[in-house]
Amino acid sequence: MYSSSPSSSDLSALGWDDSFAALFVAHAIAGLVPARVVRVDRGRCDTLTASGPVRAASAAVVSLDPAHTVCTGDWAALRLEPEPELVALLPRRSAITRASSDRTSHQQVLAANVDTVAIAASLAAPLNAGRVERLLALAWDSGAKPVVVLTKADVVDDLDAAVAALTSLAPGVDIVTTSATTGTGLDLLSTVVTGTTVLLGPSGAGKSTLANALLGREHMDTNEVRAGDGKGRHTTVHRELLPLPGGGCSSTRNGENCFEHSEQLDHPRRDRRRHRAIRKINLAAFDTAEEADLVDALRADPAWIGSLSILSAGLDGEPVGYALLTRCHVDDTPALCLGPCAVLPEYHRTGAGSAAIRAALEAAEQAGEHFVIVLGHPTYYPRFGFTRASEYGIRLSIDVPDEALMALSLGSEQLPSGTVRYAAPFGI
């Protein structure tokens, strides 16, 4: 999201108006100040206030129901002392949502209080009508105004035909053709996207370039795309509210990584689709079929826990990453084994793999599990809280580099000592 930096006397550039002010009266009487959430991290949020940026604790506005937990774009009541803390959320005017990772009817909110959804579609690649229609439906359902932005207009020979094809998909929706190379349409774009704006679209569509054009500066990293199919590497892997020089807000999203349980589904056909997606990801991620075959073998083993087989998917619903937790033991103490974990090659270094792993660990914690073991790269897994297993007297029955065997306690329980016993398909 994008917005202009607030002055001490004016929050309106961030989207604050009389209706929000009316909702805030009781909080103001209590000595709280309004703050707009610009970025959400685990346990803390970056916010903008009339006095400037504030990083605040967010535990009080985090809910087990993903529809009611804090997200980028929320207006919140902020207590500044003794330590900055968000204590309440104002009712949302609009919200971009998608289905949550569980089997309930809960929705996960991806961005709140959105006025405009700008859907980026590159003219350097064949038009994906299904994706455009899905993103348009997402925009309409949010309560925001959709705008379609055709990027890279300088590379297409018949621009009128491309616009006509899109018009048939999006009747009544504003369509803006742009080119970052020639500057075509960028001035018009800044007048069409108003208020708090979210940029949606696939990698390579030019969202980061559009964001930089709206910001008037190079804030978002950009990458080249493949000439053959117009696909690019994801360069924006978080949600962030950024100030626009002329007022309003905007957020760039690369098919935000969201989580889906791949098992315990309502219909066998959906289960088969996810099975195929898991195998496809593992086959693409590794040089051999060993990991894909291991997942299939584990599926038939008593160590399999369906709710801990996790896919991460882009905003368009296509699976891109995978993480698996299965039952193991440290001597006689039940624990979980993390792996295989995989991500499609074109999504390397985008956060897709981390998203799946974090979702798996959170699901395990919610399921009442306590301990997780991983045998993997010693510079990667510590970011999730893993530490060297040998420090706790945990070992394997085979020789492995000491730093490669790591362990994690999901709560306050002390890790047990002993020898790790994996499920039979691992062959350890």
What's the CATH number where 33 sits?
2.40.50.140
pLDDT of residue 151: 87
- Check if the beta carbon of residue 278 is closer than 8 Å to that of residue 321: no
Inside any domain, residue 1? no
The two tokens of residue 103 are 């089997």
**303: in domain:** yes
**Is there a single domain that holds both residue 223 and residue 372?**
no
347 and 409 fall within a common domain: yes
Q: What is the CATH number of the domain that holds 350?
A: 3.40.630.30
Can you tell me the mean pLDDT for 420-427?
96
- pLDDT, mean of residues 156-169: 85
> Does one domain contain both 293 and 421?
yes
Residue 4 domain-assigned (yes or no): no
**pLDDT reported for residue 264:** 35
Is 345 found in the same domain as 283? yes
* Predicted confidence band of residue 350 (pLDDT cuts 50, 70, 90): confident
Q: Does residue 22 surpass a pLDDT of 80? A: yes
Q: What confidence tier does 395 reach under pLDDT thresholds 50, 70, 90?
A: very high
213 vs 60 pLDDT, higher one: 60
Tokens, residue 223 = 């990458």
- Given 252, 282, 308, the domain boundary residue is 252
Q: Are residues 165 and 298 in the same domain?
A: no
DSSP 69-84: S--TT-EEEEE-SSS-
Q: With 80 as the cut, is the pLDDT of residue 191 above it? A: yes
Residues 238 and 306 occupy one common structural domain: no
Q: Residue 411: its pLDDT value, please?
A: 83
* From 52-61, 90-99, 287-296, the region with the lowest mean pLDDT: 90-99
Which of 60, 93, 126 is the C-terminal boundary of a domain? 93
Of the residues 93, 124, 151, which one is the last residue of a structural domain?
Answer: 93
* Residue 288's pLDDT band (cuts 50, 70, 90): very high
Residue-level pLDDT at 231:
43
Q: Which residues of 19-34 are buried (b: 16+ CB within 10 A; e: fewer)?
A: ebeeebeebeeeebbb
Given a cut of 90, whether residue 111 has pLDDT beyond it is: no
Q: With a cut of 70, say whether residue 292 has pLDDT above it.
A: yes
Count of positions (residues) in the chain: 428
The answer to whether residue 101 is domain-embedded is no
Q: What is the pLDDT of residue 8?
A: 36
Does residue 288 lie in a domain region? yes
CATH of the domain at 161: 3.40.50.300
Residue bearing the bigger pLDDT, 5 or 332 = 332
On whether residue 102 sits in a domain, the answer given is no
Top mean pLDDT of 126-130, 201-205, 408-412 is at 408-412
Which one is predicted more confidently, 412 or 406?
406
Question: Taking 70 as the threshold, does the pLDDT of residue 235 lie above it?
Answer: no
138 pLDDT more than 80? yes
Do 380 and 278 reside in the same domain of the chain? yes
Collapsing DSSP to helix, strand or coil, 339 comes out as strand
Kindly state whether residues 216 and 352 are assigned to the same domain: no
Distance, C-alpha 199 to centroid of its chain? 14
- pTM for the model stands at 0.55
pLDDT of residue 237: 39
d(CA 214, CA 296): 47
- Domain shared by 232 and 328, yes or no: no
The answer for residues whose C-beta is within 8 angstroms of residue 212's C-beta and 6 or more apart is 218, 219, 220, 222
Query: Which of 241-250, 253-262, 337-346, 376-385 has the lowest average pLDDT?
Result: 253-262
Is 136 a residue whose pLDDT tops 90? no
Q: Are residues 73 and 146 in the same domain?
A: no
264 with 243, same domain: the answer is no
Burial readout 342-370 (b: 16 or more C-beta within 10 A, e: otherwise)? bbbebbeebbbbbbbbbbbbebbeeeebb
Cβ(75)–Cβ(1) below 8 Å: no
How many folded domains does the chain comprise? 3
Rounded to the nearest 5°, which phi and psi values hold at 166? -75, -35
Average of pLDDT values for 380-395? 94
- What residues make up the domain containing 76? 12-93
- Taking residues 29-46, report their average pLDDT: 89
Please state which of the ranges 175-184, 267-276, 304-313, 343-352 shows the lowest mean pLDDT: 267-276
Residue 291: inside a domain, yes or no?
yes
Residue 64: predicted pLDDT: 76
Q: Classify residue 283: in a domain, yes or no.
A: yes
If asked whether residues 271 and 413 sit together in one domain, one would say yes
Model confidence pLDDT, tens digit, residues 374-386:
999 999 999 889 9
Confidence of residue 278 (pLDDT cuts 50, 70, 90): very high
